[in-house]
Structure 1
Amino acid sequence: MQWSEDFGRRYCIFVDTEEEFDWTQPLSSANRDTTAMAELPGAHRRLRDLGASMVYLADYPVVTDKAAIAVLRRILDIGGADVGAQLHPWVTPPHEEVVNGPNSFPGNLPQTLEAAKIERLTTAICSAVEATPKIYRAGRYGIGPHTAAILSRHGYRVDSSMRARYDYSAEQGPDFGEIGNHAFFLREEDAPIVELPLTTVYTGSLRAGGARFHRMLARIPKGRGIAARLQLLSRVALTPEDMPLTDALEAVRVAAGEGLPILNFGFHSPSIKPGCTPYVRDERDLLAFYRWWDAVIAQLDRSGIRPLSQQQLVAAIDAARV
């Protein structure tokens, strides 16, 4: 799709705003704690003060818990925030499926069940924050063949379920290995849905061969790690979670040099409370998490890449359709 001439280069931050669970254990519909939400206003204010704008993709446990809802409303009052939707099917009614790995990808569910869960989630968000969500993400990046049509019926404008250049087919999930970073129309009927993948950048001297070389290296024991250490090829997702700062800064530089119109960053909301995710285990990790954002947003500013809110994104999509 073609953005308007005055769109420039932008970045957005989509936060998977969700319940807490043990990432090493099987998924369970009983995991509904949202204690990390209490830390979110401070984290939001810190990023907002750097100039960022966030979209909080809230799931069902968050938007049906009184304390978590109060946090979302407080963040909206602070400003620089919007609320979208994220579907974790194992904690979202109706509960008709077996909770297991394949069914954790919403697009694997029967069409009627996926649609019913999206409707329940959307209704809960509207009730919680008195605003209609416009941006959706399938939990575990589990978009399916019917997702776009379902979203269009509920007024969504953007899907961000695809993680560019990642492959989940070994877990019976989708394969995004050939998906790039540019936005595109998932459907162009009466209510079009734009796909905005999570940005993943290849860096290193072999980056021109990106996806092809990355697949080849997977066949060599420790091939990808060796290539990364030799600065030949690295696959860098734009997230502070398990992505070193130096790699992220190089990825921003490469993306800016290639003229990518939108850089789509993300992280999980429980990461702001030490011990809730494997990415932030203690206070030292939390300090590194914030240092990562300090440095990355500073580089975005220097590169002339401006923040993008949900409202601005939807307006840009409307302009791009003309």
Structure 2
Amino acid sequence: MASPSIGSIHRPAPPAAADRVLWSDDFGTRFTIMVDTEEEFDWSAPLSRESRNVSAIGALPEGHRRFADCGVPLTYLVDHPVATDPLSIDILRDVLTDGRSAIGTQLHPWVNPPFEEALTPANSFAGNLPETLEAAKLGVLTNAIATAFGASPLVYRAGRYGIGPATVALLASRGYRIDSSMRACYDYSAEGGPDFRAVGNHAFHVGGMMELPLTTVFTGLARHGGAGLYEALGRIPKGRGLFARTGLLSRVALTPEDMPLADALEAIAVALGQGVRVLNFSFHSPSLAPGHTPYVRDAADLAVFNRWWDKVLADLDRRGVRPVSLAELIAAGTRP
């Protein structure tokens, strides 16, 4: 399959004001944490269909306990290698006994049958595949999760955030209620992926579902320059790095992976100042065990990762921002 042409890049339009989710006053301001629960692979190597090892799931119970002790539910977005591995299923079933955490779906098309596409960078974005093939992969994964956990998944994230023009309708037809594939302020078009620069951080209704973008904001003294300034700096050698180091402009996503603690705390303040009612955090499950992601290479990195969460959760509590479970999120965000 050929890479998508420039004209075929998926660029979701900004939602109309009428499509914004209207959260009730008693809902307050909340946060959710979605975990990309997946196999381990070499992040610097080409993607491989054979990369299906899920040994890092063994670290999940201890990682889950740290959040459960703070009263924070997690939503595990599992992909095909995890959803078809008996030990991983048992581990996830056990952590779900906290009564508030949940299972969702994450589609990595390169390790998710049927395998009819060429293994190319562009085809790693599931939304670039023919609609029939994207549907078939989604069907296989949805059925595997329902079989493993006894309930159909209700929330979805495309691996590499790779949704396409057909994705929302395919999800809605299978009973999904939330998509969380859009990464506000990010543009993957240079790799053939979608362009989310027009998408903000507020949840909105689309195609009978709720879209909950991953929260990303611009921080720094020049943050009001936003995406336009950030894009311009990308055309200047080391421009973005210079502005970040001098505190002028940084793009900060709410994740401990490659986002320093001080930047994350500032991003929380900025997002709340913009009126964002649901802060959407994320991380990859292999980061719970040293040596599987570039973000947690050793025990020292894991300590930094855990400290990041300790400080962020304490800051959210101080601000009165409460955790929300997937079930609560769906109930509160359903359009009347």
TM-score tier by shorter-chain length is over 0.9
State the alpha-carbon separation in 2 of the partners of residues 294 and 77 from structure 1.
Answer: 23
Q: Which runs of 5+ in 2 are unaligned?
A: 1-19
Superposed displacement of residue 78, structure 1 = 3.3
| Matching residue of 2:125 | 105
Superposed displacement of residue 99, structure 1 = 1.2
| Matching residue of 2:82 | 62
Aligned-residue sequence identity (percent) comes to 60
Match of 1:293 among 305, 309, 315: 309
| Matching residue of 2:318 | 302
Match of 2:255 among 239, 246, 269: 239
Number of positions where the alignment pairs a residue of Structure 1 with one of Structure 2: 316
Pair 1:180-2:210 in alignment: no
Match of 2:172 among 135, 148, 152: 152
Superposed displacement of residue 58, structure 1 = 0.3
Match of 1:34 among 43, 54, 58: 54
Pair 1:227-2:247 in alignment: no
SS at match of 1:15: strand
| Matching residue of 2:16 | none
Letter of the 1:78 partner, please give it: D
Give a deviation string over 1:273-307, Cα, whole Å, max 9, x none.
10000000000000000000000010001111110
Pair 1:162-2:178 in alignment: no
What TM-score results when the alignment is normalised by the length of structure 2?
Answer: 0.93
Letter of the 1:276 partner, please give it: H
SS at match of 1:6: helix
State the alpha-carbon separation in 1 of the partners of residues 42 and 289 from structure 2.
Answer: 14
State the alpha-carbon separation in 1 of the partners of residues 46 and 271 from structure 2.
Answer: 36
Superposed displacement of residue 48, structure 1 = 1.6
Pair 1:278-2:294 in alignment: yes
| Matching residue of 1:200 | 216
Match of 1:126 among 146, 158, 172: 146
What TM-score results when the alignment is normalised by the length of structure 1?
Answer: 0.96
Letter of the 1:88 partner, please give it: H
- Structure 1 segments, 4+ long, off by >4 Å, are none
Give a deviation string over 1:100-140, Cα, whole Å, max 9, x none.
10000000000000001111100000111112111000000
| Matching residue of 1:116 | 136
Letter of the 1:215 partner, please give it: E
Superposed displacement of residue 210, structure 1 = 0.8
| Matching residue of 1:44 | 64
CA contact (8 A) 2:68 2:98 kept: no
Give a deviation string over 1:64-114, Cα, whole Å, max 9, x none.
000110111011113431000000001111111111100000000000000
SS at match of 2:102: strand
SS at match of 2:160: helix
Superposed displacement of residue 257, structure 1 = 2.2
CA contact (8 A) 1:45 1:78 kept: no
Letter of the 1:311 partner, please give it: A
Superposed displacement of residue 258, structure 1 = 2.3
